[in-house]
């Protein structure tokens, strides 16, 4: 692929404020990345893990090389990386999930639900 351009991304995405909340810190690529950790859950044969991981790495090296250092970019099979790269998404800290989970546990344990 010669280049990747955001020229055809709908302008409406420029005005959206997309906050990404993940419950994982997996990177986009590599041994702990989206493909190797979540690919099997999504039905990807293990035989293809290396090929798919490499294709994703090649794509994002051109689209957004900084995405490789973002913890949680591998969330949703790499959906978080796409939202950050093409929809100006902002990744929220995983700690918020912990706070929300604790809040839910407190509510449930108090019988408020």
Predicted confidence band of residue 111 (pLDDT cuts 50, 70, 90): low
Provide the token pair at 92: 């929220």
7-59 tens-digit pLDDT:
787 877 777 788 887 878 899 999 999 999 999 998 999 999 999 999 999 99
pLDDT of 30 reads 97
Whether 68 and 28 have beta carbons less than 8 Å apart is answered as: yes
Average pLDDT, the chain: 83
Burial letters for 69-90: b for 16+ Cβ neighbours within 10 Å, e otherwise?
A: ebbbbbbbbbebbbbbbebebe
**Percentage with pLDDT > 90 across the chain:** 42
pLDDT of 96 reads 59
Whether 35 and 29 have beta carbons less than 8 Å apart is answered as: yes
Inform me whether the pLDDT recorded for 85 exceeds 60. yes
pLDDT of 3 reads 73
For the CA atoms of 60, 55, 58, 54, the dihedral, rounded to the nearest 10 degrees, stands at: 110
């Amino acid at each position: 692929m010669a280049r990747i351009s955001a020229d055809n991304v709908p302008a409406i995405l420029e005005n959206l404020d997309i906050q990404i909340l993940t419950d994982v810190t997996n990177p986009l690529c590599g041994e702990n990345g989206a493909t190797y950790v979540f690919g099997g859950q999504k039905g990807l044969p293990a035989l293809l893990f290396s090929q798919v991981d490499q294709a994703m790495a090649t794509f994002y090296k051109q689209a957004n090389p900084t995405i490789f250092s973002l913890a949680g970019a591998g969330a949703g099979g790499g959906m978080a990386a796409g939202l950050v790269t093409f929809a100006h998404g902002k990744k929220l800290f995983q700690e918020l999930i912990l706070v929300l989970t604790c809040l839910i546990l407190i509510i449930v344990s108090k019988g408020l639900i």
